[in-house]
Amino acid sequence: MEQERTNWNDDRLDRLADQVDRVAGQVAALGKHMDDRFDAQSARIEKRFDNLTYGLVYAMASILAAFGGALVALHM
């Protein structure tokens, strides 16, 4: 009688271990998916900051050229 109960518990524990392994695999796949999404978003944001930096550099160069031109025009 005792042997049957042990087998019954062992089978339940084996099924539980299989379910835990499946869920662990799903969690790992979800983590990889989230990492891929984060990397894609990070690259997109980084590109926007690069474009903003280039725009600011061009704007500053234009302002300096305008002030330089105004100074030259005033001294002539």
> Which amino acid is present at 13?
L
pLDDT 10s digits, 14-24? 999 999 999 99
Residue 10: what pLDDT?
83
> What does pTM read for this prediction?
0.55
74 sits in which H/E element: helix 2-75
Binned at pLDDT 50, 70 and 90, residue 75 comes out as confident
46, two tokens: 């980084």
pLDDT 10s digits, 25-55? 999 999 999 999 999 999 999 999 999 999 9
CA 61, CA 57: separation in Å to the nearest integer?
A: 6
Most confidently modeled range among 5-9, 36-40, 56-60: 56-60
